[in-house]
Amino acid sequence: MPYAFTAALAFKARLAYRSEIWAGVTGFSALSLSKVAVWAAIYATSSQVIDGIPLPAMNAYALLAGAMLAAWDWSDFLETTGRVLKSGDITSYLVKPVNYLWFQFANELGRAAFGHLLVVIPSVLLVIAFVPVAPPASGAHAAAALVLYLNAFVVLFLLAGILGICAFWLMTTFSLEWLLGALLQLLSGAMVPFWFFPGNIGNFVSWLPFAFVAYHPMSAYLGVTSQSQLPLVLVMALSWSAILAAALIVLWRRAVHALQIQGG
Amino acid sequence: MKRLFALNVMHIRSHLQFRGAFLLDRVAQLISYAAGFIVLWLLLQRFPSLGGWTWPELALLLSFQLFVYSVGASLSLVQMRSLDHLVQRGGFDVFLLSPVGAWSHLVFANGGPFGYAAHILLSCTVGAWALANVEVQWNAGLLLLLVVGLLSGIAIYTALITIFGALTFYIGRSRPAFLLFASLMVIAQYPLNIFPLAIQILMLVLVPVGFASYVPVAFLLGKEIVIIGNSGAILTPAVAIGMVVLAATVWRFGIRRYESAGG
């Protein structure tokens, strides 16, 4: 119950900054339209269908692959976790009858819900009014894409949390934010889908956890992942979440233990 | 000038107290921007060109844009983004009392190219490679254009970021404007001829970021420049001067509206 309340409160807190809604919608729409234009330019010099993907499907990829990263600013969570551990402010959370990690998960979930409901969904509706966008390949693909998309939030939360806790030992959150940003830019598939990567590079990076943030949800949506492959991808996605969650919990316990020693 | 230099030296010294973290931060920035370059490079390995621009030409546009943005941002970005907090808490008072002027004090005490060393290193390296791999018939006029283009780009970014930051004085927050700025930055990485007319107008007329990198680079490479045509490249320094005058005006009128947080 306190976690549901935390999520609702985080949602309401973001409502207070209404100017960020129009800025977010304008920014995400402009960015999506520019990505659509990039693919239109590429398709104009090639053919109507590249590697089995027609332009409306690529438009869907351009519009939706970066949605999670646009809806939720994971860097705030990474920075907050690093800061409270370094400063010792974490003690104010440790005396409360809540688990810090669950508390932050609920908080960020509320913020992500805000980003989706008031920035991403209006932007998507705006863009599809002007640009042909392919629907999901089938009902099964749509359902799998939705599960993978929800899991993308979990994977991103866990990655940001792990690096936030690492800041306790490295004394910097700045570089970790930039590093995760770089990894996501290159390995999430948010900008360029892996099937366009040369050689076996795409196949290799598609099994890394970053790929489950953007590439796999969109591959399922478009039907690039065949129906028979969907269970394997879903198992991989949930496995990465379990592995990252275990790593986060181990690091968290070590950091809190070290903090208690420092406290004297 | 001596005072401004002293302010900046103090800022650098404070950062060098944590040398390991400072170095790690710069390496992370280098990797981050390099990742952006690599994504486009991978794309151009698969496709021959983007809107008629080959990889070396795109690399020149990317590195030019990163360089002018880095120097411009080093004179404005962190400082102007901190204005929200300073104005809301009344912390801007101290800058109004400065003998070197509020803008100069804010800028030189909190930034400078030192923090952008990674951006500048990467943009110069990639830019030098790109210049060696594009077909340009160099002459004195083009060299002059390159220098004027770089200086204009720096001025445009500094002015634009100052205007966005000064919005704090008018509407209380500048964060929404900087959210939009981030989107403009991404669009500015591509040649404008691939975009629909609305985005071209946005980038060349409404918020003339296109003049900071696309216009000078397209002219240098002999590409057709959208909306303004190739002769329109001569407008670049005029746009830069116009933006600086506008930024100075917005900043001055903004300061008059500042009411501190006390009382």
Confidence at residue B102, expressed as pLDDT on a 0 to 100 scale: 83
ipTM for the complex shown? 0.85
Lowest mean pLDDT among A17-31, A156-170, A238-252, B119-133: A17-31
Contact A24 B28 (CB under 8 A): no
Contact A37 B27 (CB under 8 A): no
Lowest mean pLDDT among A83-97, A130-144, A235-249, B6-20: B6-20
pLDDT digits over A85-98, tens only? 878 888 888 888 88
Q: Are B211 and B227 in contact (CB under 8 A)?
A: no
Mean pLDDT computed over B198-211: 94
Tokens coding A185: 């830019």
Confidence at residue A84, expressed as pLDDT on a 0 to 100 scale: 86
Contacts of A182 in chain B (CB under 8 A): 28, 31-32, 34-35
Q: Percentage of chain A surpassing pLDDT 90? A: 67
Confidence at residue A260, expressed as pLDDT on a 0 to 100 scale: 66
pLDDT at B156 over 70: yes
A102 CB-near residues (< 8 Å, 6+ apart): A3
Q: How confident is the model at residue B263 (pLDDT cuts 50, 70, 90)?
A: very low
Mean pLDDT computed over B155-165: 95
Tell me the three state secondary structure of residue A128. Answer: helix
Distance of alpha carbon B11 from its chain centroid, rounded? 21
Contacts of A186 in chain B (CB under 8 A): 35, 38-39
Mean pLDDT computed over A127-132: 93
**pTM as predicted:** 0.89
Angle at which helices B214-221 and B140-171 cross, to 10°: 170
Tokens coding A236: 């991989």
CB distance from B173 to chain A under 8 Å?
yes
pLDDT at A264 over 60: no
Average of per-residue pLDDT values in chain A: 91
Tokens coding B94: 């101290």
pLDDT at A81 over 60: yes
CB distance from A43 to chain B under 8 Å?
no
Alpha-carbon distance of B1 to B43, in angstroms, equals: 46
Mean pLDDT computed over B225-230: 93
A215 CB-near residues (< 8 Å, 6+ apart): A65, A188, A189, A190, A193, A194, A206
Mean pLDDT computed over A46-61: 88
pLDDT at B3 over 80: no
CB distance from B50 to chain A under 8 Å?
yes
pLDDT at B237 over 90: yes
